[in-house]
A and B are shown apart, each in its own frame.
Chain A
Amino acid sequence: DTAVSQTPKYLVTQMGNDKSIKCEQNLGHDTMYWYKQDSKKFLKIMFSYNNKELIINETVPNRFSPKSPDKAHLNLHINSLELGDSAVYFCASSSGTGTTQPQHFGDGTRLSIL
């Protein structure tokens, strides 16, 4: 049983397009996150939601808009894709606010902009 699942696993698209990545967790966690991992493997948090409320919003272009329809789902919509958006995007979840319990990650969505 997959705990944190993301779709799609791979996403190849043209510059300027709009795309979405979906994430679902079946762990009953309260908090969900989006991270971006660049080509040097550096992982950086983008957003976190706790019980559908935005908690952390790092300095991310407003072309990126997270949406949490319920606490088990956190989707990421990206408008007007740019070459620099190419990366692997990871969804994660944790119980509580994630500051005293480990975060559990999905297997990532590899986004390639042509």
Chain B
Amino acid sequence: GESVGLHLPTLSVQEGDNSIINCAYSNSASDYFIWYKQESGKGPQFIIDIRSNMDKRQGQRVTVLLNKTVKHLSLQIAATQPGDSAVYFCAEIVGSSNTGKLIFGQGTTLQVKP
């Protein structure tokens, strides 16, 4: 079936430390993955994406790693700041090009301690 799971519902880190949020997916045919950040009262906000022909992609302070062998995705946030506190979702595209749909994981709440 379709499912995307995250290993931890809550992650608490000290300001300035690096954060790593993990995600496991089940569909080995998926070729596009996205990380979203959702702040309280807001909609999911795109952070970074990665296609299955890559194993690493870097953005500003964020890095996404994809391990297709074990169907694992992670989001690394460098020098975590209070503004990074939010719920983080991984998502995968399942299905063919015209009917493909975005399947979200359960979300990890990142808490940044000052």
Contacts and interface: CB of A to CB of B under 8 A. Distances in A.
A41 B87 contact: yes
User: Nearest 7 pairs between A and B by C-beta?
Assistant: A105-B43, A99-B100, A43-B104, A102-B46, A105-B44, A107-B43, A99-B93
Nearest to A102: B46
A42 to B, nearest CB: 6
Interface residues on B, range: 20 to 34
Given A100-B32, A102-B49, A107 B41 contact: yes
Nearest to B100: A99
Interface of A: 4, 33, 40-45, 48, 50, 55-56, 58, 90, 92, 97-100, 102-108
B107 A41 contact: yes
A56 B96 CA distance: 12
A102 B34 contact: yes
Given A43-B89, A99-B32, A102-B49, A107 B98 contact: no
Interface string B43-69: 111100101000000000000000000
B29 interface: no
A95 to B, nearest CB: 12
Contacts of A103: 34, 46, 102
Given A41-B87, A41-B106, A41-B107, A4 B43 contact: yes
5 contacts: A41-B38, A99-B96, A99-B100, A100-B32, A105-B44
Contact of B100 (A41, A58, A98): A98
B108 to A, nearest CB: 10
Contacts of B36: 105
B45 to A, nearest CB: 7
